[in-house]
């Protein structure tokens, strides 16, 4: 599929008032849903047995996948969302348009933990998080909705 460019400039977002950002198209959403489901298969989660997969769409239209990677020293485990973000940043991508997340929970949409929301927020507030169920249904919220009144890089420049 041809790579799509997204307008990711601050303040320009379809779910935010006065926004003119490019919406994520249906095909691209379906691809994100597929990639996060596939990434879940690589989850290393022998302790929780709770596999999670993530698919991160950059503003350049590139997709990075991630899964949770646990450790015998429990606090060192990392979530799928942060794995995807670290893969992207380490390859030079820091502008993000959307992320989709998958787990095996049938009853509820998988939601990102607080730590992941803060890590997402480091790279802007104006992107979409698709929270899925295994049956392919999803809910979508902006990061701003998931983490209102957040602290970020701009706050360090205020004094
Ligand atoms: N986990 C994620 O990877 N993402 C989430 O959104 C929620 C939780 C992981 C962390 C841990 O490996 C396992 O799921 C159980 O909490």
Residue 81 is among the residues annotated as catalytic for this protein: yes
pLDDT of residue 110: 98
Average pLDDT over residues 107-117: 98
Instruction: Indicate whether residue 45 lines ligand 1 (CB < 6 A).
Output: yes
Token couple for 75: 């606090």
Q: Which residue has the tokens 């302790």?
A: 47
**Does 113 appear as a known binding residue?**
yes
pTM over 0.85: yes
CA 127 to ligand 1 centroid distance, Å = 21
Give the pLDDT band of residue 30 (cuts 50, 70, 90): very high
Average pLDDT of 36-62?
A: 98
Where helices occur in 21-158 by DSSP H, the ranges are 26-40, 80-90, 114-121, 143-146
- Which residues have a Cβ under 8 Å from the Cβ of 106 and sit 6 or more positions away? 133, 134, 135
CA nearest 131: which of 105, 101, 104? Answer: 101
Q: pLDDT tier at 8 (50, 70, 90 boundaries)?
A: confident
Residue among 27, 38, 81, 106 flagged as catalytic: 81
Residue 79 vs residue 10, higher pLDDT: 79
């Amino acid at each position: 599929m041809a790579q799509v460019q997204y307008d990711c400039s601050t303040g320009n977002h379809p779910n935010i008032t006065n926004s003119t950002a490019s919406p994520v198209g249906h095909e691209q959403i379906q691809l994100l849903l597929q990639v996060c489901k596939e990434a879940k298969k690589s989850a290393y989660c022998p302790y929780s047995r709770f596999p999670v997969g993530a698919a991160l769409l950059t503003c350049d239209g590139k997709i990075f996948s991630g899964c949770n990677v646990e450790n015998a020293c429990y606090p060192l485990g990392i979530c799928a969302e942060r794995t995807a973000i670290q893969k992207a940043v380490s390859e030079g991508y820091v502008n993000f348009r959307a992320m989709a997340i998958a787990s095996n929970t049938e009853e509820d949409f998988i939601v990102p933990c607080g730590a992941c929301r803060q890590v997402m927020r480091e790279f802007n507030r104006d992107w979409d998080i698709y929270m899925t169920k295994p049956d392919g249904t999803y809910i979508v919220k902006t990061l701003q909705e998931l983490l209102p009144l957040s602290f970020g890089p701009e706050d360090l420049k205020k004094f």
